[in-house]
Structure 1
Amino acid sequence: MKAVLMKAAGSPEVLQLQEVPTPSIPLDNTQLLVRLVAAGINPIDTKLRKRGTFYPDQMPAILGCDGAGVVEAVGAGVQKFRPGDAVYFCYGGLGGHQGNYAEYTVVDERFVARKPASVSFAEAAAAPLVLITAWEALYERGRLEPGERVLIHAGAGGVGHVAIQLAKLKNAAVATTVSTPEKADFVQQLGADYPIFYKQTDFVQATLDWTDGGGVDLAFDTVGGETFQKTFPAVRVYGDIVTILEPDANTVWKTARNRNLRIGLELMLTPMLLGMDESLQHHGEILEQCANWMEQGKLKIQVNHQFPLKDAAKAHELIETGAIAGKIVLLISDE
């Protein structure tokens, strides 16, 4: 099969399209052989490419956590899927198990969900990592309740644009930071109540004005760096802030402590890194629920750029600009 290999860490040019053996599945297990139609591109892919994977002794590596495709073969223990079923999932691509920048992969059925019939393979492939991240951050770390007020940073981004929709599905009120009028229009189409132009406006003061001085119940930081610390005073006393980035070593925690904030750290890759199969099964369950919402028209994935598999390096160059809205996808085969 064709796959994009990374033989060493470095610039996007280290990603090279080559022929590699097609994986196979043992007949007595619960694994699926999936013919991949599309693979999602995420910032974690570029970080692993630049810095090296989590498993440097297992090189070369095939990156790509997100995939969507068609089941080609099933193990004897498989119960939910049959050959010909369309599926999507987040599994592999960290340097151990093969990722999805390839024509085929193997994944356990427990970690997989049916692809919504109403969305394309490209949209499905763009969805898993950001959906699971936003779900865990809002619903599990942040314990979001109906009627609460939420501040979501970078609402037009990959994680942000699905976080807005998941928050609205909980009947929350959503403020979100954006950089341009076009992005403001985009997030409002998704249901955001209050776009904040953070380059022209103090987002903390804007948030406090929006909440009559009290602060939001939950802030979701998808940016990191100084934005995380700056957000503390925008959160109500005894409120929550969840970040998907590692807090900077120089973070000053005084405001967070004085306001008695509950700090949540969200890394949806933890189950893969620690081999936690039950949690990976929960990821499959999250994707099943999100598939239902997508089919009902309640949840949409914005794919703004598509590249053929051979142009994975160009896709990495684009995502590293940090200026795009929505998601980037690799198209692997026609379907």
Structure 2
Amino acid sequence: MKAIYFDTGGPADILNFGNIAFSDHCTEDQVLVRIKAIGINPIDCKIRTTPERFPVTFPVIPGCDGAGIVEAVGSRVNKFKPGDEVYFSQPGFNNRQGTYAEYVQVDDSLLALKPHSLSFEQAAASPLIFITAWEALHDRARITQDQTVLIHAGAGGVGHAAIQLAKLAGANVITTVSNEDKANFVKRLGADLIINYQTQDVVAEVLHWTDNNGVDIVFDTVGPDVLQNSFRCVKPYGDVVTILQSTPDTDWSEARIRNVRFSLELMLTPVLLELEDAKRHQGEILRQCATLFDAHKLQVEIARTFTLADAVAAQRFLEQDHPAGKLVLEVDS
């Protein structure tokens, strides 16, 4: 089958496009999916750059997100059948294959039927970001109605999913962006206060808008410096959730004084640690999101599409341009 693969870590140009050996055999709990579209995520680039940090097998086929058509199912699979249109997020860990390919075997617990209202491209763009945002807001921070949430980088993939889920939960949303186009984008998603972090003091704006109380929840999708400032934005006994790793020089004193509940969100954990209940939970999140998509209560923004053969250009674009919304690879198979 045709696929994108690499044999050593490095920059985007180490990615190869060509034919690679593939067995279409499914284990009893797997589903063979013919891929129609692939969502591109920052984790794809991290795995490409430092594959030694992840349980991958060379040659590595990258990619977590996919949408396509079921070709075959394992003997114990009873929720899916050939011909079903599905979407999923499954990293290529622990002898699994990534999604930058024409076919992939997927654990049936991670699959959900594709939302009827979405194209394959839109569906492929959705799983990782909506699972991440859902787990961060609902499972970690336990968001409730009328809370105030600060979502950093609201125009990004995870950020724009989080804004929508927070609004559906009945929360007030503050978000940060870097330019006017992204500000207009997050305004359409329902953000209540938009802060341009290039020209405004985020902490000062948050405290002013909350009458110096701070927000109930901060969701950090950016990293160490933003995480550090987040502790000054959250109210005492509030929640800070991050999808990035703190650094050794992170100062936790403000978080301690405020008695902040701090949480980490890594949606790769169920496959990384082979946690069956957690995998089923992620499949259920996708089923609930499919219902919300079809009720037109959620949307996913696609910034640009590429062909599978153009994966090098796509990953470079993601790393250099930081677009609003998601990038997608289209597969002609």
For 2:69 and 2:317, how far apart are their aligned partners in 1? 28
Runs of 4 or more off by more than 6 Å in structure 1?
Answer: none
Instruction: Provide structure 1 residue ranges, at least 5 long, that are not aligned to the other structure.
Output: none
1:82: Cα distance to partner? Answer: 1.2
- 1:206-221, aligned counterparts within 5 Å? 206-221=205-220
Per the alignment, residue 194 of structure 1 pairs with 193
Deviations 1:6-44 (A, max 9, x none): 111011111111212333234x71321100001111101
**Distance change in 2, residues 1:196/1:250 (3 Å):** same
1:76: Cα distance to partner? Answer: 2.5
1:135: Cα distance to partner? Answer: 0.4
1:96: Cα distance to partner? Answer: 3.3
Secondary structure class of the residue paired with 1:17:
strand
Give the count of matched residue pairs: 333
Per the alignment, residue 226 of structure 1 pairs with 225
RMSD over aligned Cα, in angstroms? Answer: 1.4
For 1:92 and 1:255, how far apart are their aligned partners in 2? 35
**Distance change in 2, residues 1:63/1:188 (3 Å):** same
Deviations 1:56-94 (A, max 9, x none): 672111000101000011123221111111000011334
TM-score (norm. length: structure 1): 0.96
Task: Report the residue type matching 1:31 in the other structure.
Answer: Q
**Does the 8 A contact of 1:23 with 1:105 survive in 2?**
no
Does residue 6 in structure 1 map to residue 3 in structure 2? Answer: no
Per the alignment, residue 70 of structure 1 pairs with 69
Secondary structure class of the residue paired with 2:100:
coil
1:52: Cα distance to partner? Answer: 1.4
**Distance change in 2, residues 1:208/1:62 (3 Å):** same
Task: Report the residue type matching 2:269 in the other structure.
Answer: T
**Does the 8 A contact of 1:110 with 1:280 survive in 2?**
yes
Per the alignment, residue 286 of structure 2 pairs with 287
For 1:260 and 1:31, how far apart are their aligned partners in 2? 44
1:253: Cα distance to partner? Answer: 0.8
Per the alignment, residue 183 of structure 2 pairs with 184
Secondary structure class of the residue paired with 1:321:
helix
Task: Report the residue type matching 1:321 in the other structure.
Answer: Q
Deviations 1:244-302 (A, max 9, x none): 00011100111111111111111111111111121111100000000000000000011
- 1:85-124, aligned counterparts within 5 Å? 85-94=84-93, 96-124=95-123
Does residue 31 in structure 1 map to residue 11 in structure 2? Answer: no
Deviations 1:132-152 (A, max 9, x none): 110011111111111100000
Per the alignment, residue 21 of structure 2 pairs with 21
Per the alignment, residue 249 of structure 1 pairs with 248
**Does the 8 A contact of 1:238 with 1:261 survive in 2?**
yes
Per the alignment, residue 276 of structure 1 pairs with 275
Per the alignment, residue 297 of structure 2 pairs with 298
TM-score (norm. length: structure 2): 0.97
**Does the 8 A contact of 1:55 with 1:95 survive in 2?**
no
**Does the 8 A contact of 1:154 with 1:176 survive in 2?**
yes
Alignment identity in percent? Answer: 50
